[in-house]
Amino acid sequence: MLKNLTVQILIAGLSAVIAAKLIGDSSWLEEPTTFYELILMLKVAFLAALKMLIAPMIFFSLISAIANIGSVLKLRRLGSVTIAYYLMTTLIAIVLGLIAVFFIHPWESYPPTLEQSLTFSESRMIDPGSDSLIAILQQLLLMAFANPFHSLVNLNIVGIVTSAFLLGIAMVVSLGADSPLFGLVRDVNTIILKVLGWIIRCLPIGIFAILFDFALKLGVSDTFSADFLTQLLQFSILVTLLTLTHGFVVLPLIAWLSTGRSPVNLIQSLAQPLLVAFSTSSSAATLPVSMKTAEETLEVDRSVSSFVLPLGATMNMDGTALFEAVAAIFLAYLYGIELSTLMIFTVFLMAMISSIGAPGMPTASMSGMQIVLLAVGIPLEAIAILLVIERPLDTFRTMVNVQGDLIGTLVVQRFTQDRATPTSN
């Protein structure tokens, strides 16, 4: 049992938290001891190793996925089912969040604690109209059509995905099936996956270092009023419960309805990538583990998983969309801003767009959050409030983001393959 990677990760995570509580000292944050510096070095090195392969992996696995599909017709089918699944699940997540907040808003038993800090010029004057939407779209398009080399170096995931798509489709359309380029791309992909396998072996060490640091930093708090802290806590609990409901009830239900796979068995099969997502707070960094799980445990065809997962790691973020929508409603209340129906709809739309554009990195949705806040006239400084509680919440939403992608491989396989591959229950 100790040889099982999931068990090793669990033991590493638990011992990190216990060790941080027993031997850690918050003074280390100011004056790090050699031991703490060593932990930080391991953490940084492990995250760098995961990050090192993100760009080439997304790029080559998408090109090779498209090349493997081999025909534009099949690609269109796979693409449309995948996008339809992404949009549908993100939509469900946001609607779940908004409906729940409509009925459950515990923070409203306290007054809008930040109302006084709202100055006329920085809010309400912002028009939630088309200007901001066009500006966002323009920004997305500029990212999408950036120089591919620039995108690869700077980890511009939207750019990497777009160029991989264009190059992959052009390869299929213009080269004969016997072109050596197809083999080359496949080989590069295999080599990258091999290196990733080695990095995955080091997960227990990396997770120990990450969680030790995390546990040490937790507990260092700011000075806020008791009412405000209670409101923050209420928001955190609600958003976590909603995120988990989406991940552990809604998504498995979708998988069960479309593939017949039992929810309990499904969650068990996803344990490894979910733990990694939880500890790294990065869908992109979890991608290698997700790829392995989809192929080996979920038995999804590689042509499906290598298309759905890299694309999902950047486009499909149910947890992020839900978080952004609920956070916007919560912040609007704190600042005493009345949200009209149009504004709530704008929150919905912006949460959707920004979750599609957010890269799968820790705290990535904070940049997208600006779009949501600006659109409804909430001051941008509100982001600082979210940052206080951001880290623990990111763990859960990243987990659900990854869950959405993995369940997506099953659903997409079910609806794109003429004879669905039997799934083991």
Q: Which residues bind ligand ASP (CB under 6 A)?
A: 281-283, 317, 320, 358, 360-365, 394, 397-398, 401
Q: How far is the CB of 316 from ligand ASP (least distance, A)?
A: 9
Closest to ligand ASP by CB, 159 vs 360, is 360
**Identity of the amino acid at 107:** W
Q: What is the DSSP string of 336-358?
A: TPPPPHHHHHHHHHHHHHHHHHS
Q: Which among 174, 165, 195 is positioned nearest to 60, based on CA atoms?
A: 165
Q: How far is the CB of 72 from ligand ASP (least distance, A)?
A: 30
Q: Which among 241, 233, 240 is positioned nearest to 113, based on CA atoms?
A: 233
Closest to ligand ASP by CB, 273 vs 362, is 362
Closest to ligand ASP by CB, 8 vs 316, is 316
Closest to ligand ASP by CB, 114 vs 317, is 317
Closest to ligand ASP by CB, 66 vs 374, is 374
Between the two ends of the chain, the Cα-to-Cα distance in Å is 22
Closest to ligand ASP by CB, 75 vs 353, is 353
Q: How far is the CB of 361 from ligand ASP (least distance, A)?
A: 6
Q: What is the DSSP string of 93-158?
A: HHHHHHHHHHH--GGGGS--TTGGG--GGGSS-S--SHHHHHHHHHHHHHHHTS-HHHHHHHT-HH
- 16, 394, 398 from 240: Cα distances, Å: 23, 9, 11
Distance CA 359, CA 158 (A): 8
Contact of 319 with 243, CB cutoff 8 Å: yes
Closest to ligand ASP by CB, 172 vs 315, is 315
Q: Which among 384, 393, 395 is positioned nearest to 334, based on CA atoms?
A: 384
Q: How far is the CB of 369 from ligand ASP (least distance, A)?
A: 9
Q: Which residues of 345-382 are buried (b: 16+ CB within 10 A; e: fewer)?
A: ebbbbbbbbbbbbbbbbbbbbbebbbbbbbbbbbbeeb
The structure tokens listed for 264 are 């309990």
Within 10 angstroms of residue 11's Cβ, the number of other Cβ atoms is 14
Q: How far is the CB of 362 from ligand ASP (least distance, A)?
A: 5
Q: How far is the CB of 405 from ligand ASP (least distance, A)?
A: 9
Q: How far is the CB of 359 from ligand ASP (least distance, A)?
A: 7
Please name the residue that has the structure tokens 């956070």: 327
Contact of 377 with 337, CB cutoff 8 Å: yes
Closest to ligand ASP by CB, 153 vs 387, is 387
Q: How far is the CB of 364 from ligand ASP (least distance, A)?
A: 4
Closest to ligand ASP by CB, 295 vs 318, is 318
Q: How far is the CB of 115 from ligand ASP (least distance, A)?
A: 28
